[in-house]
Amino acid sequence: MKDIANITIGCIGAGTMGSALLKAMTKIIRPEKIFVSSLNFENAKKFSDETGCTVCKTNAEVASFSDFLFLGVKPSVVFQVLNEIKSSLRNSSVIISMAAGIPLEKLQTAAEGFSVMRIMPNMSALVEQAITALCCSADVSADDIEVVTKLLECAGKVENVSESLMDCVTGVSGSSPAFVFMFIEALADAAVRYGMPRQQAYVYAAQTVKGAASMVLEDGRCPAALKDAVCSPAGTTIEGVACLEKNGFRSAVIEAVSVVCDKAKNLSKK
C-alpha cells in the first residue's frame, strides 16, 4: 500500500459529511496535507482553524494538491465542479464522490478518464461510528482502494459493495440516522409525558438505542430473536409491540427507506 504519511487529501465542500470525514482522517494524515475548499469560504476557513487543515480559495487549487480528492458537494453541482477542476487534477489523482445517485459511468465521463470511486457514509462519522459503502470504476487499483478504505476507517466501518446497491445504501444507512433520531425523540417525548425530565429522557432513549444496536452487531441472534427475548408472555413489552404493529411501525419504516432509494435512483437519471 502507498505510504499514507506521504499522500495528500483534498475535499471540495466543507459541509457536515466532508468535514466529519476529514477530521477523522487527521488521526493518520498530518492536517497540513489535507486541503479543503467550500462555496462559502468562511466555512472552510472555520474548519481549517479548528483542525489545522489547509484552506484553499478555489476548488481548482484543492484539486492541484490532491492525490485523493473527495467531492462533498450536492448531486446537482457535481458535474459543474468536475468541469471546473479537471484541468487542474494531478495525472494520478483519484476522485471520490459522496453524491447520492450519480453513477460511476457518468462521473468518469465527466472526469474525462480519471479514476473514480463512490462512497456513501452517514452522519455517525461525526462520532467515528459511520458505516460507509464504497464502490469504484474498474481502473481503480487495489492499492488505491486499500488507501481510501484505510482513510474512511478513521470514521467507522467500511464495506465494498456492488454499485447496484448504492441507492439501497443511501436509504438504509445514508438517510436513516434521521429516522433513528426521530425514534429517540419520540421515546423521550413519551418519557417526558410520564414525568421524566427532558435531558434525562434523551439519555435513557439514546443509550437504549445504542445498546440495542450493539446487541444486534455483537450477540449473534437476529433482531427478531432479540425482540422475542424481551417479550415475556402476557408482559408489558408485548403490549407495546402489539401497539407498534397496529399503528404500522414496520411498514412506515420500510416505506421511508423505499422513498429514499427511489429518490436516489431518480437522481441518476438526470
Three-state SS at 173: helix
- Residue written as grid cell 401497539: 243
Output the CA angle 136-169-224, nearest 5 degrees: 140
93 is in an annotated binding site: no
The rounded distance, in Å, linking the Cα atoms of 250 and 230 is 18
117 is in an annotated binding site: no
**Annotated binding residue at 16?**
yes
25 is in an annotated binding site: no
17 is in an annotated binding site: yes
Is 12 annotated for ligand binding?
A: yes
CA atoms within 13 A on the CB side of 220: 0
Tell me whether residue 13 is annotated as binding.
yes
* Residue located via cell numbers 461525526: 126
Buried b (16+ CB within 10 A) or exposed e, 127-147: eeebbbbbbbbeebeeebbeb
Binding residues for NADP(+): 12-17, 38
Binding residues for NADPH: 59
Binding residues: 12-17, 38, 59
